[in-house]
Amino acid sequence: MAAPLVFVKLGGSLITDKRHRERARLRLLQRMAAEVRSALDERPDLRLLLGHGSGSFGHWEAAKYDTRSGVRGAAGWMGFARVSAAALRLNRLVTETFLRAGVPVISLQPASAVLAEDGDPLHYHDAPITAALEAGLVPLIFGDVAFDRRRGGTILSTEALFVHLAPRLRPQRILLLGNAPGVLDAQRQVIPRITPESLPQVEACLRGAKGRDVTGGMADKVHRMVRLAAAIPGLRIRIMGGGEAGALYRALTQPQAAQGTCIDGGEEPPPR
């Protein structure tokens, strides 16, 4: 049986201050890198695909040029290049932080591997990701620009990349860490579980992200993950907060103790 594979996204709202341009939360990044290293030490069989959002780096530039909607003309393509450069600046910080913590991450830029169509991934040359996993490395991807057959260019969120990769790589779990402790109801309490059947009941509670976010915020995240959970039996997806010390470590090593909102296909109750 293949070793368990977990997709982990560090949200842009978590690892950057989205109210200020290109401001990373370096101490939090350092702590999260240390927690991943500790989890790998405890669970040597654990395989990880790590991703992160662009936060106050890529989203500021993308909002300025409306890159997600499409790219046309010299000014639009200059904006496309600037968004890419901003996303790479944050990715370099994340890469160096995790390497210093002893996590063997290797950054694999989506823009060089993905072709999109109308805002969603169409083709993803994922052989380097598979090779990295087989070598015992932690591939690191991130929200990035992509060439698009209809729009010229666009922006793809990490969630969109995860959704495209999951049917091929078959993760057991997906962890999406952000500022919020999970998906919140009208009373601002965490909704413990969402399935395709219960989604209509929580639709009204979904809100867009605070700060600059050009990839849809919480509503888009939940809808994508519900569709993915319905398509892959047994997949467990958790939307959770990452600000609390130890939260990521516990989620990686003790799945039954993880907090936040669990999204699954509804075929059976999630493990406690």
Domains and CATH numbers, the chain: 5-263 (3.40.1160.10)
Average pLDDT, the chain: 91
Report strand pairing: 114-117 vs 120-124: antiparallel
The CA distance from 49 to 105, in Å, is 9
- CB-based burial, 197-233: b 16+ in 10 Å, e otherwise: eebeebeebbeebebbbbbbbbebbbebbbebbbebe
Fill in the DSSP letter of residue 210: S
Q: How many CB atoms lie within 10 A of CB 234?
A: 12
- Per-residue model confidence as pLDDT tens digits over 248-257: 999 999 988 7
Check pLDDT > 50 for residue 187.
Answer: yes
What's the pLDDT at 69? 94
- Per-residue model confidence as pLDDT tens digits over 130-174: 999 999 999 999 999 999 999 999 999 999 999 999 999 999 999
- Per-residue model confidence as pLDDT tens digits over 34-93: 999 999 999 999 999 999 999 889 877 888 889 999 999 999 999 999 999 999 999 999
What's the pLDDT at 256? 84
What's the pLDDT at 272? 41
- Per-residue model confidence as pLDDT tens digits over 106-116: 999 999 999 99
The CA distance from 118 to 193, in Å, is 31
pTM of this structure = 0.92
The CA distance from 192 to 167, in Å, is 25
Cβ(197)–Cβ(230) below 8 Å = no
The CA distance from 126 to 108, in Å, is 10
